[in-house]
Each structure stands twice: as C-alpha cells, then as structure tokens.
Structure 1
Amino acid sequence: MFQIFFQDFSWEKFLILAVICFFGAIVDAISGGGGLVTLPAYFSIGLNPYVALGTNKLSAALSTIASAYKFWKAKKVNTEIVGKLFLYSFAGAVLGVKTAVSIDVKYFKPLSFFILVIVFLYALKNREIGEVSEYEGPTPKNMLYGKIMALALGFNDGFLGPGTAAFLMFCLIKIYKFDFSNASGNTKVLNLSSNMASLIVYTYLGKINWAYGIGVALVMTVGAIVGSKLAILKGNKFIKPMFLFVTAILILKMSKEIFFNN
C-alpha cells in the first residue's frame, strides 16, 4: 500500500511544487488568488488535468484551515454571517465540480473574466471601498443576497477556481459593508467550505494524487500562517493593494487564455 501511495512520485517534482505553492499560500492568505500560482504548478509536473484540479483542492483545503483559524483567532470572522452561508457555499461547490467534469470550462471563463474586470475597475475607482467597516448586522435583505452569492461563488470555486476569492471579498464588502481585513477573514471560511466540498467530490471520483497533495498541503499550511499573520498585522492598507494586484494578474492571465490561446 505504501508503494501504491508513492507510485509515480518524484522528489524533484515535489520540491518544485513545495517552493511554488508555499508562496502561493502566502498570497492566498492575504488577498486570495493563490490558485493562480498553485494550479499551474500542478499542471506543470504533468498530472492529468482533473487530477491536478483535485490535488490542488486537497492542498488548498488543508492550508485554508490554517489561515481561516488565524483570522478567527484575530476576531476577523463574523460567525453569525458565515455560519448561515457556509452550507450554501458547500452546495454550490458540489454542483460546480460535478459540472466541471462533464463540460468544457471554456464556456464559463468569458463570463468570469467579464465580471472580474468590473470588480477590479469598481474597486480601483472607488478608493474608499473597504477602508472602514460599516457592518450593522444581518438583515433579511443582505442575508438573501449573501446566500445567493455563497451558492453562486461556491459553484464558481468548484467549477473553475481562480477568481473566487476576489469575487467573495468584493461581494462581502458590498453586501455587508465589511472592510478588507474582515472581508478577507470571512472569505477564508467560505473558501474553506467550497474547497472541502470540491475535495469530497474529487476524492469520490478518484481524481487526487495523495502523495503530492498531502506533502504540499503541509508546506502550504506554513505559507498560509505566514500570509494571514501579515494580513492581520498590516490590515486594510496592505490587503487592498494586494487584492488589486492579484486581481489584475488574474485578469491578464484569463485574457491570454481567452483571446490568445486559439
């Protein structure tokens, strides 16, 4: 069984993954978007695309536990809100993964790209957005919007992945009037929900390389702790520029895939 677990395992490939994904976990803990770094790394070592997606979810899910815990300890997680949205994000991700393994993601990327551009431009134009928390508590209206958001972005995370954290942070700020620091903490918990749901489905489908996934997850957990400490310590003035930077990189990457990879 031990030999089966390490079948086709390469220490050289693992070290490449470990270094790249460590920095990906730091970025993800601060502003989201770590999948921009980690998923291409898994593709680059020659894994089957669906196995790469599943293994990346394993590493991301375990490292997100660490960053979510750090934000929770720092009182940057609103349990009243995310406790009610957690299952919606979970259900959306299950539907997203089941859809991803049955159709081509190219049909969904243009829509995600378009929305991401709007989010970036809006956040760039409205310089004060997310600077100060104006959260006043849950209402029937913002909870309805929140549940729709959690379901839709859970689906996006299970189906496509990259861009979900940016969407989540932006929506949490707009719907609940959190600042970037609190939005980041709540994003980690909802991301954890969709990551765990995706992981369960990919495990059921047998699309995970456990040797790489668990090893890289341990490395990413350290990266997630480092990143979340930086975000909590430096606050909104640090998180917002990182959010804009990572979102801009994501837009450039997706535009290349949509418009130039024919």
Structure 2
Amino acid sequence: MDLHSFFAEYSLLFLISLSLIAFVSGFIDAVVGGGGLIQIPALLIAFPNLQVATIFGTNKIAALSGTTVAASQYTRKIRFNYSLLLVVSIFAFIASLLGAQVVSIIRTEILKPVILVILIVMMVYIYKKKQLGTVQTKTLTPLKQMILGSVIGAVVGFYDGIFGPGTGSFFILGFVFLLGFEFVMASAYAKVINCLTNISALTVFIRQGHYILGIGLMMAFFNVAGSFIGSRLALKKGNGFVRKIFLVVVSLMIARYGYDVFTEYF
C-alpha cells in the first residue's frame, strides 16, 4: 500500500473521523457487541457510491481485528465450556459462510421489521428482569446446552454473514436468554464465536474483491485499541456495567431499525 497516494486520496479530517468511529465501535463491540451499528453507517456515508458488499467487507477487516483482541482478553479471565464453544462456533461459522454467499441476492430490508420486534421485546424483558444476566439463571443438561447453542450459532451466524450489525449483541441475547449466562460470560463466548463468523464472512468478501484495504487496515488499528480498552473495562466492572451498556446499545439498535422500517415502509 502506497502511503503517499493513500493520504493524497483522502483528507486528514476524513481519516481522523473514520479512525475515531472505529475506536468507539471497537470499545462498544468489546463490551456488548453492536459496533457495526456505528461503523457500517459511517462507511456508508463516507463511501455512498460503493457496493454494499464492499462496505461490509471493509468493515469486516476492522471488526475482525478488534474482535480478536477482545476475545484474547476474555479468554484469559473466563473459564469456557470448550465443547459447547466448539459446537456453537462450527454452526456459526458454516451459517455465516452461507449468509455471506447469498448477501447479494436476498433483500435484507425484509428482515428489519422482524429484527425490530425481537429487539423491542428483548429490551422490555431485560429492563424488567433486573437480575437477568447478572447471575447464572439456568442449569441445563450438556445435551440441552448443545442443542440450544447450535440454534444460537446457526441463526446468529447466518445473520452475521448476510447483514452483520449487532451480531455480538444477538449472540449475547441468545446466551443470556436461552442458556442463562451472566453478561460477562455471554460477552466472552460472543467474542470468540464472532471471530470465526467474521473470518468466514471476510473470506468470501476478499475472494470476491469486496474491500478497501487501506481504509480497512487503518480502521482495524483503532478498532483494536477500542476493543482492548472495552474488554478490560468489562472484565473489571462486571455484569452490572455490561448490562447498562447493553441496554444503551439495544436502544440504539431499536432506533436504527425503527428508522429503517419507517422510511422503507411508510
């Protein structure tokens, strides 16, 4: 990559803006997921004439870097059920690959009303259930954990491949609601699995040439910085802190999808 031509093509203010957005995105994503809700709209505004697949591919370069750092931080502190992690990861990886393959032929806007309703229901439920996610709420048999984990991996993995924004948050929702995990533990599992879904989807985007390498690498650097700080803060502050940030991010997701649904259908 020729740095001179890179800086000649983009203004300093443009690059600083994308860098700050990548940092904030990495921070939020490391704590509760949903960093793509910030990063993807920013890229869409910055590059209005690019194909959506190219925007997604560029975003994945940055997102994968930050998610990998966050996952490494969590793995040092959280004790995983590696059998469960492996099963969910396999289903998520395959489903994400399938989602990325069909992203250009499926109208993602038809998913938005469904996602909006799910988010609103989950938001209300989490807000009312103060203890949800702050302590382990379920004790499931290993078989039931595997079955429910496979469902989470397949559904959220496919969503990540075909659309993406909020994938980490949806993984956390699944782990908290279906498996009864605490928020910090759910975030840890989500980061590790999200690494694999990002690799899966990014492999397809790179093979198809849908990425801007220079922008992706620059944003990756700042996404990593944000992820490092976010994951360490989540581990230090605990479930209560993660729950609060999670409610804020879900509120932003509801606003985002609500706006999209309103403008597209009304």
Which deviations, in whole Å up to 9, do the C-alpha atoms of 1:55-87 show, x marking residues without a partner?
Answer: 001110111000000000112544332122111
1:105 alignment partner AA:
T
Residue type at the aligned position of 1:31: V
For the aligned residue pairs, the C-alpha RMSD in angstroms reads 2.1
Gaps of 5+ in 2: none
Q: Identify unmatched segments of 5+ residues in structure 1.
A: none
Aligned-pair CA distance for 1:156: 0.5
Identity %: 28
Give the match for residue 32 of structure 2: 31
Q: Aligned residue for 1:170? A: 173
SS in 2 for 1:43: helix
Aligned to 2:212: 209
Contact 2:28–2:34 (8 Å) recurs in 1: yes
Classify 1:8/1:91 alpha carbon distance in 2 versus 1 (closer, same or farther; 3 Å): farther
CA gap 1:121/1:57 in 2 versus in 1, 3 angstroms = same
* Residue identity matched to 1:29: A
Please give the TM-score of this superposition, normalised by the length of structure 1.
0.93
CA shift in 2, pair 1:7/1:229, >3 Å: closer
Displacement of 1:98 in angstroms is 1.5
8 Å contact from structure 1 (residues 21, 41) kept in 2: no
For these two proteins, the number of residue pairs brought into alignment is 262
Report how far residue 159 of structure 1 moved: 1.0
Residue identity in the other structure for 1:238: F
> Which residue does the alignment assign to 2:47?
46
**2:218 & 2:10 partners in 1: Cα distance?**
12
5 Å-filtered alignment, 1:132-143, equals 132-134=135-137, 136=139, 139-143=142-146
Give, as a single letter, the amino acid of the residue that structure 1 aligns with 2:66.
Answer: S
Q: Is the 8 A contact 2:35 2:166 kept in 1?
A: no
Matching residue within 193, 196, 208 for 1:193? 196
SS in 2 for 1:124: helix
The verdict on how the C-alpha distance between 1:230 and 1:7 changes in structure 2, with shifts beyond 3 A counting, is closer
Q: Structure 1 217/138 Cα, relative in aligned 2: closer, same or farther at 3 Å?
A: farther
**Cα 1:134–1:115, aligned 2, differ >3 Å: closer, same or farther?**
closer
Equivalent residue for 2:149?
146
Asked whether the equivalents of residues 168 and 190 of structure 2 are also in contact (C-alpha less than 8 Å), the reply is yes
Residue 135 (structure 1) shift: 6.0
Give a deviation string over 1:108-143, Cα, whole Å, max 9, x none: 211111212221121112111111125646521221
Partners of 2:247 and 2:132 lie apart in 1 by 12
Q: Which position in structure 2 is the counterpart of 1:21?
A: 22
Residue 159 (structure 1) aligned to one of 154, 158, 162: 162
